[in-house]
Structure 1
Amino acid sequence: MPASHPYVRAVTDERSVDLRPDPPVPGAAPGQWWPPQVLLPAWLEAHAGEIDLVHLHFGSESYSADDLAATVDTLQRLELPLVYTVHDLENPQLSAQEPHRAALAVLIAGANELITLTPSTAAEVERDYGRASDVIAHPTLVEDDALPLGRPSTTTRVGVHLRDLRPNIDGVATTATLVRAVADLRAQGAAVEAVVRMNENVRDADTAASIDALARTADGVRLERAARLDDDALAAWIADLDVCLLPYTHGTHSGWAELCYDLAVPVAGTRVGHVGSQHPGDFHTYGLGDPVSLERAIVDATAPAWSVPGSAARAAEVARRRTERREERERVRQAHVALYRRSLRTESAA
């Protein structure tokens, strides 16, 4: 759960797993899955005979640690295994992390089985919470085999999408660092330009205004402010880039890094969480407020021939990765099925 999330659908082998739909949320719009009703003890009591186990991915921030402790207690009493995938050791949607860490402690201690996405995340979970995890890679979420290859350009294009300025995105520092790095590279004779994009609707209008002031007058930097892109439009936007910049200040993993990998677009990212461990060969580190590190990251990221949008090398790399990712997704699904079966055997033995 949530069953409607694209990640959950991607890891589910429907040949072996009956993924139940998200229960409707009283008073919410149709299709809204949060707050997840499956975590409510009353819902579990009423529907225990319809399910074999609960696999929690997202949505725990809807409840307090005490609420989740009641959920764990109910699952144990009903002899329903809990599988928990630790996506976020730090929650990107929150500024203060204490409530999230308290919830993590409850869920990690109470889960029958734990999954993490990278070995480095598993090591942190074992160090801080004393539990071992199965490491199962983040699969591709892309269904379409005809991926965009980007449009050719005479310049190196570096792009950052600040989205709606959620708490783990430092839009001002990212934009300031990018503006300075681009100015320095252009002063050295490099044909480089940057695009900074934000959604029309953002969480902080004052921050958006500061970003606008930084980018509007900067040479070689273009600011885009428009409606939220749908999945196809976002893929096309990223594919046009030589380098995609990630603007995170905290977090653990990144779905954007996965999409960039599918599109063969190198990533420049901050040293946050375990994003760099997802696809280390494509990840180039920079520091917020350190334009020299970003200059270096841009130069390193654009060294491979396949980084160039619209090129034959990019097309060949995207095709190679598409085959690799389809095969990986099948392994990921099989690994989940094996873990579910193990958790059910363990619960039965208990």
Structure 2
Amino acid sequence: MGEPAFFRLPDPRPVDAEETENRWWPPRWLEPRWLTEHIDTFDVFHLHFGFDAVEPARLAAIVGILRAHDKPFVLTVHDLHNPHFANNSMHLAQLGILVTAADEVITLTHAAAAEITARWNTPATVLPHPHVAPLDLIGQVRAGHEREFVIGIHAKSLRANLDPLAVMDVVVCTAAELGNARVQLDIDDEVFAHRDQRGAIGAALTAYNRFRSVDVRVHRRFDDTELWRYLKGIDVSVLPYRFGTHSGWLEACYDLGTAVVAPDCGYYSDQKPCTTYEFGIDRFEPDTLAQALRDVHAARSRTPAASRSERERERTMLSRRHYEIYERALSRSSRILTEAR
């Protein structure tokens, strides 16, 4: 039996977009004029990311164009608190327009769906996050770390919700207590190009190399292959997120058999198995982080991990469920979705 099929249009590249290794540009679909000019090229409009910098008035205009042309609108809500901004008021204003206008809303956890309903009186279909690591890496036997337990903290580019400096003392002290543990602290080198507080925080983090048990590594941003190698090389990833909702990083860890210690803000523990500690905006209970690391260390031979077959079945299920959602959205309009052949 074949899978339901639909065709996803390629991301149109703006004329003035720079071709870089980590290229990104605002979706042209969120430009009212461009959307209007290409309104007959698609059946369903599905928005997931890319509207961070789009003013609510422009989003309202986009919604108006879709309605005027009888185009169904599907929205996936990954973040209820945008991890790039401590002040979440803009993001909530954007979501207020998008969620209430969508024909179908998707999110990743039941807890997030409950919040969406409570905030906007709108139901949301819960579909789990798909695999992040390549299928051929999922379920592989990991190299054992019998001699040492590697605790990873990745500061990345120090985006707004990351506060690794706050947790480092506890992590280093707990690693010393465990005895056979090493802390690996990674920092993207772009941090040090900033003259704001990120550069100062980066300097403070590199000072942890004074501890023999801490391995500080400053490097360019990992490409995908380097990221998979990194995650397979640590036993646990500590997520120092002050705020957020869901995490693709958590999914990658689950794919590759890396344990996760995540904050109790957001809905990380609803998304995938992880050990939590009390951490959020203006709050931190250090003892809970220390205990989380002890618990993960004690259970290190039983770390939850995905199997390839599980992720393959999930991928098939997600494809079918998305097709069903698109059909439902189209049933509310005058258009009919036909299977691609």
TM-score normalised by length of structure 1:
0.86
Partner of 1:8: none
**Partner SS, residue 80 of structure 1:** coil
Q: Is the 8 A contact 2:133 2:256 kept in 1?
A: no
For 1:108, give the aligned amino acid: V
Distance in 2 separating the partners of 1:152 and 1:301? 14
Q: Is the 8 A contact 1:24 1:33 kept in 2?
A: no
Partner of 1:198: 187
- 1:181-207 alpha-carbon deviations (Å, 9 max, x no partner): 324x24xxx321211110111152111
Partner of 1:331: 317
Distance in 2 separating the partners of 1:241 and 1:286? 22
Give structure 1 stretches of 5+ with no counterpart. Answer: 1-12, 308-313
**Partner SS, residue 348 of structure 1:** coil
Distance in 1 separating the partners of 2:257 and 2:53? 35
Distance in 1 separating the partners of 2:227 and 2:220? 11
Q: Quick one: percent identity of the two aligned structures?
A: 32
TM-align CA RMSD: 2.2
Q: Is the 8 A contact 2:6 2:323 kept in 1?
A: yes
1:345 to 324, 331, 337: 331
Give structure 2 stretches of 5+ with no counterpart. Answer: 336-341
Distance in 1 separating the partners of 2:241 and 2:24? 26
- Residues 305 and 166 of structure 1: is their aligned pair in 2 closer, same or farther, counting only changes over 3 Å? closer
Q: Is the 8 A contact 2:73 2:103 kept in 1?
A: yes
Partner of 1:244: 237
For 1:333, give the aligned amino acid: S
**Partner SS, residue 295 of structure 1:** helix
- 1:152-181 alpha-carbon deviations (Å, 9 max, x no partner): 350111111110111110121132332233
For 2:114, give the aligned amino acid: A
1:35 to 26, 30, 33: 26
Q: Is the 8 A contact 2:66 2:72 kept in 1?
A: yes
Distance in 1 separating the partners of 2:327 and 2:301? 41
Distance in 2 separating the partners of 1:278 and 1:286? 17
After TM superposition, the runs of 4+ consecutive aligned structure 1 residues lying more than 6 A away are: none
Partner of 1:285: 277
The answer to whether the aligner puts 1:26 opposite 2:15 as a matched pair is yes
Q: Shift of residue 76 of structure 1?
A: 0.4
2:218 to 220, 225, 228: 225
Partner of 1:50: 41
Partner of 1:174: 167
Q: Is the 8 A contact 1:286 1:293 kept in 2?
A: yes
Partner of 1:210: 204
Q: Shift of residue 328 of structure 1?
A: 0.9
* 1:53-68 alignment runs, 5 A limit: 53-68=44-59
Distance in 1 separating the partners of 2:235 and 2:133? 20
**Partner SS, residue 61 of structure 2:** helix
For 1:342, give the aligned amino acid: R
1:155 to 148, 158, 163: 148
- Residues 303 and 107 of structure 1: is their aligned pair in 2 closer, same or farther, counting only changes over 3 Å? same
Q: Is the 8 A contact 2:277 2:285 kept in 1?
A: no
Partner of 1:311: none
- Residues 150 and 235 of structure 1: is their aligned pair in 2 closer, same or farther, counting only changes over 3 Å? farther
The answer to whether the aligner puts 1:265 opposite 2:258 as a matched pair is yes
- Residues 57 and 50 of structure 1: is their aligned pair in 2 closer, same or farther, counting only changes over 3 Å? same
Partner of 2:80: 89
Distance in 2 separating the partners of 1:238 and 1:30? 28
Q: Shift of residue 14 of structure 1?
A: 8.8
Total equivalences in the alignment: 323
For 1:327, give the aligned amino acid: R
Distance in 2 separating the partners of 1:334 and 1:235? 28
For 2:174, give the aligned amino acid: A
